[in-house]
Structure 1
Amino acid sequence: MGLYNWHSIVSSRWLHPLLLLGWFIIGLGLRFTHLTAKPPWTDEFATLVFSLGNSFLPVPLNQAIAPDILLQPLQPNPAATIGDVIHKMITQDNHPPLYFVLAHLWMNLFPNQEKYVSLLAARSFPALLGAVSIPLTYGLGRLAFRSRLVGQLAAAIMAVSPYAIYLAQEARHYTLAIIWVIASLSCLVIASHHLQNRTLLPLWLIICWVGINALGIATHFFFSLTLCAETLVLIFLAWQQSQQAKTLVFLSSVWWRIYAVALGTAIAGLVWLPSFLENPYRSSLTEWIQTDGISLSLLNPLFQLFAAWVTMIMLLPVESAQLAVVIVSGLVMLIFAIWATPILVRGYKFQLQQPQTSLPTQVLTGVVLGAIALFFILTYIFGIDITRGARYNFVYFPAVIILVGASLAVCWDTSQKAVMLIWLMGLVSAITVVSNLGYQKYYRPDLLVPIIQQNSQVPVLIATTHKTLVQTGEMMGIARELNPSAQTTTQFLLAHQEQDPNTSTVALENTLQQLPRPFDIWLVNFHAPIAEAAKKCVAQTKPLSAVDGYEYKVYQCR
């Protein structure tokens, strides 16, 4: 009797908490594996600098500077306050400040023995938040489908999702935004059941939903795309109910509380509008996603979104340096997709057809499709190609994971091996990301610096055209990778330009005339006419390796 009761307790009381703890530990371990192995890129440098309460503005422009001067904004500032962080974000960046304030408080917990801020301290915060999203995913799955199995499978997929791990290993705000997306979707699911049952939304739900949405907007402005997708879902539900009831249900008292949520959320969003519009750096910092909607390639956004969708579930070493590995990885992913897609589609259709699960399936599907539609509208109509940044798909990513978990739950009783195989593919994909064979950084200074040091035996000037903090971050990445001996023989030039590229050319010309020879010029991402003083030097004709994020030319001035 005792043994039977023990097994009953384990299966009923402790099974699900222990399973969830297991997914959390696996997810946490993956997110912290090789956490600092990849060099930070320019967006992460923005996080480091602003979270310290520092600024990029003190870095001198149009003159040769030493690496330690370029990296000075990365030095911890004990005198910086939360107010400094907020002021720097509002006046010098194009993101809201909530995450950066939290990162400031987090990094203050780490004793810094180094000259510069700890990359581990900066990246550990989003990695931890990414792990926290695993049990929250379980909660959303269980809440939406009234099923612990759906919650467990969704949490298991979230734990090993290569896309989730890619975001968690960046010193950026996306994992915090994902937490708010999960919380807001939870409120949407609860609200949809109240709307279906024609019952009033409880006051606590209204307050929580508005508060969550306010925090989401204060974390990332693209969280508003999640809110817009939720709005489309609510409009669809209103239309659906109106068709069934043969009356305008959106005028009923039930819907007035939805309008209260919308009004509160709108006020929380409009608070940030003045600072966003008045920011002098806003347009230049978002220039990379702005394009001519008429001449935009019709296929690029489709491929970019498709790649993001695939990597939410699987990603093998397609960025390996070995061509054979890339080809084999691509073939395996294709075969796996052909096998797994019918399984997921069959499970999805089953959930959609069941009376108990039809509503949450429709709601989460509506969020995904609504967000994707907004991506295409911004891209093709307004010429803002946000599909270029895979990270922006965070706005609907949790909904995808819940739907995958719901689909897998259908075939759990009949084909557990298939479910386990899909999860194992996710685990291998997660290892691919942490091993830097997938979702590599956009900039690879760890590859460029060895090329510079192998080909230049004399002092080096690394020159780039400068417009915003983006270019400063690109050079910071190089400076951070230099070995101690190169720190003393290398200088940087941030040749600033507003509209006229020739201003960068003049800055380069003036700088070269002041440098004692011999030296080598490395023009890295230098988008301006070459200075006459550089043309008098010998151009490097030896073919050198291409490096992600950095286009370069070499001139030897002897």
Structure 2
Amino acid sequence: MYRYRPYLSLVGILILGTVLRFSQLEAKPVWLDEIITGLFSLGHSYENIPLDAVFPLAQFADIFTLNSTASCQKIAEMVATESTHPPLFFCLTHEWLSRVQGSWVWQARSLSALFGVGAIAAMYGLNRIAFSPQAGVMGAAVMAVSPFAVYLSQEARHYTLPMLLVILSLMGLIQIQKDLHHRGTIRPWVGISWVIVNTLGLYTHYFVLLAWVAELLTILALSLGKYLHPVSLGLQQQSSPAPTKGMVTWLNLGGYSLLPLLLYLPWLPTLHNHFNRPETDWFKPFEPSWVDSITPIFQTLAGWLVMVVAFPVENQPLWIVIPSAILMLLWSGYFLWSITPRIKALFTSPDTRLSGLILLFFTGVVLLEYLTIVYGVGKDITSAVRYHFIYYPGICALLGASLMMNPVGREETKPSAPVLSNPLAKSRFPILARAGGLPFGKPLARLRPDSPTLQSAASYLIPGFLIVGLISSVFVVSNWVFQKSYDPAGVAQQLNLEPTVPLVVVVGYENMQEVALGLSFALELDKIRPRNLPETGWAFMTRSPSYQSVWENLGSVSGLPPSAVNLWIIAPGLRQREYPPQLRLGDRLCNLDPSQYYRLGIPYQLYRCGKQEN
């Protein structure tokens, strides 16, 4: 029965992770990026959206219905020409939407949640191969209750799938290193699986390219370390392989490393075109200043923080923000103080050093790539916390393994050796305490069960980490944290200021991302404005070359009800003082209401239009 305990623990962790990821999956408002996911995955393109004309709000129901005739090839063509992403995730989502019942929002998010659950299981496999069954269970537990991982899993976007593929790729990387060390050769199924996973990742998200390059540099660094410092890395072999066999092995490794790029060649021209598209300009500061040179550092640190704790500090009253911020800082300080010696133990124990260095080097290289893009290319990809997903598996694996480490006290054993042991032996989590056996080989030392260090770790650090993570994840599910800068639900509530008055909403757009943003507002407005209310019209009007074209187009609107009308102008990039005091909406004059100007990430202004002029 003992050998099945890690799997029983994993089942419990998977159940917990599944509940967190699927809870209230449809409750959060759909935001800009999810609109893009839905549009392409349903088999539509921007051409299906009526532009430069007022149309009924109910017409959106036709846009967000499944086009069963769309093929993966057609979706890939639309993504290539109208988006800045690879096609695989959208093709998979289209197939999922055609097979799963429910609203398209729940369907799309459920696929991401499912990949998120798969990432928990994959993290167990990664840490089991890299360290031990105990570390595998703890790595899975870390990901299961991580607020960052729960947040990504509830987004209808391509974050959890590439994260899952990166975990599988790291698993293959560590297995390749173990094969080279213990066998002197790479088993074909390991190398081929690694190629397949990396290739799928490249066709899922462009950031996987950063992970792939980081893995290649990790292989190169380990190869150099094998010859320069083999003893310190634990890479020395009992006997050297025959020269011919060694040459074949390195040729195989080179082939496995470069084959994903060869398989990716058909999409490389599209990648080049996407990189230069204006949709990525939002990464650049709107008004550059010296602050932009240090902001990415703080944004990265904040990204690390919310991987383990996330309390409500966004758009909340001060009586919630201040205690939440204090608790987050206190917990992060205690956690950092407690985990540091265990991280040190991870890299000083011969049993865990090699795998720990592989994961650390991989994570460090990806971070250097991020900084290169930020400071070299001028695009701040740290500005959105979700983009830290690509190296999150490395951090999660290291945390899971480190939590299972205990530094050995001087009075307890011989002067060596931090070791991998079971710090949960006296914890309140008996399933985790019995989770696994010993690490690779016999440990150098074990802490006594009554060790003060062991009791401290078991009584506070690990249970506290899991409880804080669970509470944080509940905040994520309840939409108290990771809130979007654009608040579709809040905007819709304000647009519906007077439900009994006919309403026209006009969105000035310059690109299709702004159209998608307007669609997110429209979907939320459609939820709270029943069909039996007065007429509701919606329009996307181009603001090229300036908003003057929008004002002129408003004058040609027809088909309005004879009664008074509320007109909302959603105007990206327009300052409050730049709204005209009066506008013509068809055959009537509209006056600006100075008390009804808002900016929830984007400015919008109310105009009150009189009755139809005779």
Q: Confirm or deny a common fold (TM above 0.5).
A: yes
1:379-423 Cα offsets, whole Å, 9 max, x none, are 111011111222221111111111001110014531212211111
1:426-457 Cα offsets, whole Å, 9 max, x none, are 11111110011111234322112222222465
Partner of 2:573: 527
CA contact (8 A) 2:116 2:149 kept: yes
Closer, same or farther in 2 for the Cα pair 1:232/1:497, shift >3 Å?
Answer: farther
- Where do residues 442-521 of structure 1 align in structure 2 (5 Å cutoff)? 442-455=485-498, 457-481=500-524, 482=526, 483-485=529-531, 489-498=535-544, 500=546, 502-511=548-557, 518-521=564-567
Partners of 2:549 and 2:252 in 1: how far apart? 57
Partner of 2:381: 386
CA contact (8 A) 1:465 1:527 kept: no
Does 2:391 correspond to 1:349? no
Does 2:213 correspond to 1:228? yes
User: Aligned to 1:388, what secondary structure does the other structure show?
Assistant: coil
Partner of 1:123: 109
Partner of 1:6: none
Whichever of the two has the greater Rg, that structure is: 2
Which of 117, 120, 124 aligns to 1:134? It is 120
Partner of 1:285: 279
CA contact (8 A) 1:304 1:390 kept: yes
RMSD between aligned residues? 2.7
Does 2:607 correspond to 1:555? yes
> How many angstroms does 1:510 deviate by?
4.1
1:277-310 Cα offsets, whole Å, 9 max, x none, are 456x961322211359985611221122111111
Partner of 2:429: none
Report the residue type matching 2:184 in the other structure.
Answer: T
- Where do residues 152-551 of structure 1 align in structure 2 (5 Å cutoff)? 152-196=137-181, 199-244=184-229, 253-278=248-273, 283-291=277-285, 295=289, 297-319=292-314, 321-411=316-406, 412-413=422-423, 414=454, 415-417=457-459, 418-455=461-498, 457-481=500-524, 482=526, 483-485=529-531, 489-498=535-544, 500=546, 502-511=548-557, 518-527=564-573, 530=579, 533-534=582-583, 537-542=590-595, 546-547=599-600, 549-551=601-603
Does 2:49 correspond to 1:59? yes
Closer, same or farther in 2 for the Cα pair 1:516/1:267, shift >3 Å?
Answer: farther
User: Aligned to 1:552, what secondary structure does the other structure show?
Assistant: strand
Q: Which runs of 5+ in 1 are unaligned?
A: 1-8
Report the residue type matching 1:132 in the other structure.
Answer: G
Closer, same or farther in 2 for the Cα pair 1:286/1:72, shift >3 Å?
Answer: farther
User: Aligned to 1:318, what secondary structure does the other structure show?
Assistant: coil
RCO greater where, 1 or 2, for CA within 8 Å and sep 6 or more? 1
> How many angstroms does 1:201 deviate by?
2.0
Partner of 2:434: none
Partners of 2:52 and 2:496 in 1: how far apart? 24
Report the residue type matching 2:47 in the other structure.
Answer: L
> How many angstroms does 1:498 deviate by?
4.9
Task: After superposing the two structures, state which structure 1 stretch, 287-296 or 94-103, moved more.
Answer: 287-296
Partners of 1:344 and 1:40 in 2: how far apart? 37
> How many angstroms does 1:318 deviate by?
1.8
Closer, same or farther in 2 for the Cα pair 1:302/1:363, shift >3 Å?
Answer: same
Which of 70, 73, 76 aligns to 2:63? It is 73
Closer, same or farther in 2 for the Cα pair 1:390/1:486, shift >3 Å?
Answer: farther
Report the residue type matching 1:493 in the other structure.
Answer: A
1:105-144 Cα offsets, whole Å, 9 max, x none, are 11112345xxxx5321111111111111111100000111
Percent of pairs identical after alignment? 30
Task: After superposing the two structures, state which structure 1 stretch, 324-333 or 535-544, moved more.
Answer: 535-544
TM-score, reference length from structure 2: 0.82
Report the residue type matching 2:340 in the other structure.
Answer: V
Report the residue type matching 2:82 in the other structure.
Answer: Q
Number of equivalent positions: 538
Q: Which runs of 5+ in 2 are unaligned?
A: 232-242, 407-421, 424-453
TM-score, reference length from structure 1: 0.90
